[in-house]
A = this chain, B = another copy of it.
Amino acid sequence: MGKTEAKRRYDDACGTAHGLELIGERWALLVLRELMLGARRFSDLRADLPGISANVLTQRLTELEDRGLVRRKKLPPPASSNVYEATEWGLEAEPIVQVLGRWAARSPMHDPTMPISATSIMLSLKTMADEKRAKGFEARIGFRFGEERFVGRMRKGRFKVARAEPVDTDFTFTGTPPQLAAVIYGGAPLDSIGFDGDAGLARKFVTLFPLPPKASVAG
């Protein structure tokens, strides 16, 4: 592995090239993305990243740890397992995830009907919230995806979100991440996902995340 890093550099002083040496390997940025909203266990990451194999995940986590982007924490005795969390610098990679995601949303080849993790869909709402359209809209929104719970807040045109139990929310969605994606991005009806709370507010909320126009491949 040490050898790897020596041989696969880009030999380029440009910051972009260095960035790719840090998080350019396959899966690396997606692993980091899954840690953006809090620490995760090895098996959580495997479940959230369909297709990653255990050995590749181990290697990516080790590399990200060596580079100072991820920290491994041992849980106290009863659990006695590890969790992985992003360091402060690792968290600062969020704009990369966002900019890349927003750019790729223009792709004519993008198929939004695929699996998506809870963290992904939550981050995508931060990315795609349309500041102008959301201006003046204010709400606390709960999300329940199985055991994973989030509370978001739309305010001043910005969407913020953190892991928390939905209490005192204006409305709360209950379902799967792909169901929510279908409602927000695919125009599926609100009642295709479990929902309770203020339906008027919710109906408005789901329109605040417009997809950008597709790029024409003719360029």
Contact = CB atoms under 8 A, between A and B. Distances in A.
A11 interface: yes
A133 interface: no
A88 B120 contact: no
Contact of A30 (B8, B10, B116): B10
Interface stretch (A39-47, A101-109, A157-165): A101-109
Contact of A12 (B13, B30, B69, B92): B30
A95 interface: yes
Contact of A71 (B24, B29, B124, B219): B219
A103 B92 contact: yes
A77 interface: no
Contacts of A124: 14-15
Contacts of A144: none
B112 A178 contact: no
A54 interface: no
